Amino acid sequence: MIPAVKVFLPLRVLLISMIAIIDYGMGNIHSVNKALEVCGARTLVTNKPEVIRSCDMIVLPGVGAFDDAMQELEKLGLVSVIKEHILAQKPFLGICLGMQLLFETSEEAKLTKGLGILKGKVRRFEARKDLKVPHMGWNSIKVASPFFKGIADGSFVYFCHSYYPEPKEKSVIVATCNYGIDFACAVAQNNVFGMQFHPEKSQKVGLRMLESFIKLC
């Protein structure tokens, strides 16, 4: 009789957190998932409330309209799931539209309110002859947070947006960008983080930011 062989996995493998990437039909899901995997994360792309509740971290990507996004989250029963996750002090990251949804209201939405996790509103860039809207392409950012440790001030990241957040509490702003005006391009409050730019498209700088997020849990 062949004796049973016990396999012991390294502790660091057993403790790797699971990240839920919320798929609500509005996000750049494939790119975000691939970037997180490159950073060594374990990920699940899902819109199932029970699956998301079982995960240690949430990433909410987003491309599209504020109204449509909130309606999809409501329809899927994910608004309460997201709020429960955040209240439980689990790490949460919103990217682009996913960051904007953290706020109370948006000039893009006539009737729909946001998640209201952060106080403030989302505004549209004013159309100017010297300023194209949407803001699309690479731009430098000014960082001011330990979360961006190892990221040089003036680093370039990739943007694609027509709206930007205007937090009521300036203390949550951890990075800014200038595009006609200085605007908040990254926010942080306790376990909640948001990036207006796309870290998954920002090459080494963006991957380093995602690595910092993964290490929070």
Query: How are beta strands 135-143 and 120-124 bridged, if at all?
Result: unpaired
pLDDT digits (tens, 9 = 90+) for 109-126: 988 999 999 999 999 999
The verdict on residue 92 lying in a domain is yes
pLDDT of 12 over the 90 cut: no
Average pLDDT of the segment spanning 47-73: 96
CA distance 52 to 94: 15
pLDDT of residue 16: 66
Which listed residue (108, 161, 185, 200) is catalytic?
200
Domain that holds residue 148: 11-214
- Which domain CATH number covers 204? 3.40.50.880
Which listed residue (39, 55, 96, 185) is catalytic?
96
Average pLDDT of the segment spanning 131-138: 95
The verdict on residue 64 lying in a domain is yes
Average pLDDT of the segment spanning 49-65: 96
CA distance 183 to 175: 9
The verdict on residue 3 lying in a domain is no
Report field, pTM of the whole predicted structure over 0.85? yes
Any catalytic annotation for residue 198?
yes
Say if CB 184 and CB 103 are below 8 A apart: no
Any catalytic annotation for residue 200?
yes
The verdict on residue 2 lying in a domain is no
Sign of CA dihedral 92, 94, 99, 104: negative
The verdict on residue 141 lying in a domain is yes
The verdict on residue 107 lying in a domain is yes
The verdict on residue 1 lying in a domain is no
- Quote the number of domains for the chain: 1
pLDDT of 66 over the 90 cut: yes
pLDDT of 51 over the 80 cut: yes
